[in-house]
Amino acid sequence: MKVKLLGGGREVGRVGILLDDGAKRLLIDYGLNPGNPPSFPAASPPVDFALLSHAHLDHSGMLPWLSSRYNTKIYSTPLTKEISEVLYKDMLKIAESNGYPFPYGEHEMNISLSNFRLFDGNDVFKLNGYEIKFHPAGHIPGSVMIELKSHDILFSCDINTIETNLLHGAKPVKAKTLFIEGTYAGTEHPDRRQLEKEFIDEIEDVVRKGGKVIIPAFAVGRTQELAILLHEAGYEVWLDGMGSKIADLIIKHGNCIKSPKRLNKAMKSMNIVYSNHGRKLALKSGIVLTTSGMLNGGPVLWYIDKIKDDPKSAVFITGYQVEGTNGRMLMEKKEVNIYGVREKVDCKVKFFDFSAHAGHSQLVDFIKNVEPEKVVIFHSENPEALAQEIDAEVIIAENEKEIEI
Ligand SMILES: [Zn+2]
Ligand SMILES: [Zn+2]
């Protein structure tokens, strides 16, 4: 089998894995990096079908281009399709308002949405001589690892192996060849329970002193996980942005998470913000959970603008901040771009590492338990750190360079 990465080799993001077994060609994930402006993977040739591991745009964002062009069918879980649709629409809106050229529009998106074919976690399905099984990936709701049973290959795609409030960790699946993501190769995460405690303690501290807490959070996964945590800690929380819409979809496909009942209860306790009036009430009340997670737009900037000069208040960042984003600038320089003006921020700013990816040791353990003969590392800026710990043949994938497996 010949494999070529169209993107995602020695980099985190814009993943595209092209496979060719001599008879049929298929693509696993096809994403873009939704920066300003976005960056794209290499162009994919026509393929017989595409498999999508999860809805994040760095894995899904280019499928509308491919699918509308070649009428390619896309196989995913039902929840992944529904979340992808929300993210596509949001991305097209942002592309339009920023005025940069984009490889497809709403028409192409609609064609691709009609080309989705849905499979649940437990089915083995056969496509053009490939036998495929999805396994829960523990990364975001609806995410899967992809096993090509017919070829004895496992694609981890993005995984997390720890238990969170929202998801079970991914369990290893035996395979001869393993494609493993290495986002956090060489880096460990703090213990989740300890992190949660520290997060709640810090919120308590700010609230006690009369400050406001603004919590930017990714709409998919992070918002819902934090909603459960904050609700169960007894806080009254205001929720703004896309996270509540995504929560509705997750609850609708409740078998994708640990406890839909628990999430439902947390979401029912949230005060959802629908208007400017709601925003004022939210700010007055004190704890706001809101998009966007990297502060590159969305309601979060309105809130930060209001509290930025108040040293009693705080912005608690809850996810990785990509270079070049507003969130990264806030963490590094305590400055933030608000409506085109760069502003100094005097309130407290702190980062909490609630990651949706396995840390270094967790990746090493996972690989050991898959017992592969061959490991291909992708989706990583530091693949060597992982490579040196693997007791099997290791290939570090490079973009557009063919690998034989
Ligand atoms: Zn990814
Ligand atoms: Zn992801």
Which of 115-124, 205-214, 255-264 comes out lowest in average pLDDT? Answer: 115-124
- What pLDDT was estimated at residue 98? 86
- The Å distance, Cα 178 to ligand 1 centre, comes to 17
Q: Which residues surround ligand 1, an ion (CB under 5 A)?
A: 58, 158
Second CATH level (architecture) for the domain 2-187+356-404: 4-Layer Sandwich (3.60)
- Mean pLDDT for 204-226 is 98
- Mean pLDDT for 358-380 is 98
- What pLDDT was estimated at residue 37? 83
Mean of the per-residue pLDDT values of the chain: 97
Q: Which amino acid is at 199?
A: F
Inform me whether the pLDDT recorded for 123 exceeds 90: no
Inform me whether the pLDDT recorded for 34 exceeds 90: no
- What pLDDT was estimated at residue 403? 97
* Sheet (strand 25-30) strand order: 116-118, 74-76, 49-51, 25-30, 16-20, 2-7, 402-404
Inform me whether the pLDDT recorded for 371 exceeds 80: yes
Match 């040196």 to its residue by tokens: 388
Match 């979401």 to its residue by tokens: 267
- The Å distance, Cα 8 to ligand 1 centre, comes to 9
List Cα–Cα distances, 366 to 3, 104, 121, 140, in angstroms: 22, 37, 20, 18
- The Å distance, Cα 310 to ligand 2 centre, comes to 34
- What pLDDT was estimated at residue 304? 98
Residues with Cβ within 8 Å of 323's Cβ and at least 6 positions away in sequence, in order, are none
- The Å distance, Cα 58 to ligand 1 centre, comes to 6
- The Å distance, Cα 285 to ligand 2 centre, comes to 33
Inform me whether the pLDDT recorded for 121 exceeds 90: no
Over residues 140-173, the pLDDT tens digits come to: 999 999 999 999 999 999 999 999 999 999 999 9
- What pLDDT was estimated at residue 263? 98
Over residues 265-311, the pLDDT tens digits come to: 999 999 999 999 999 999 999 999 999 999 998 999 999 999 999 99
Every domain range in the chain assigned CATH 3.40.50.10890: 192-351
> Residue 14: which of 48, 43, 49, 50 has the closest Cα?
43
Second CATH level (architecture) for the domain 192-351: 3-Layer(aba) Sandwich (3.40)
- The Å distance, Cα 158 to ligand 1 centre, comes to 5
- Percent of the chain having pLDDT more than 70? 100
List Cα–Cα distances, 345 to 110, 169, 303, 308, 333, in angstroms: 41, 37, 12, 5, 9
- The Å distance, Cα 252 to ligand 2 centre, comes to 21
Q: How confident is the model at residue 339 (pLDDT cuts 50, 70, 90)?
A: confident
Cα separation, 305 vs 174, whole angstroms: 50
Helix (H) or strand (E) holding 82: helix 78-98
Every domain range in the chain assigned CATH 3.60.15.10: 2-187+356-404
CB atoms within 10 A of CB 243: 26
- The Å distance, Cα 301 to ligand 2 centre, comes to 24
Ligand nearest to the CA of 29: 1
- The Å distance, Cα 348 to ligand 1 centre, comes to 30
- The Å distance, Cα 122 to ligand 1 centre, comes to 23
pTM of the model: 0.97
- Mean pLDDT for 382-393 is 98
| Pair type for strands 287-290 and 238-240 | parallel
Q: How confident is the model at residue 324 (pLDDT cuts 50, 70, 90)?
A: confident
Ligand nearest to the CA of 11: 1
Inform me whether the pLDDT recorded for 36 exceeds 90: no
Query: Using an 8 Å Cβ cutoff, are 184 and 383 in contact?
Result: no
Residues with Cβ within 8 Å of 344's Cβ and at least 6 positions away in sequence, in order, are 308, 334, 335
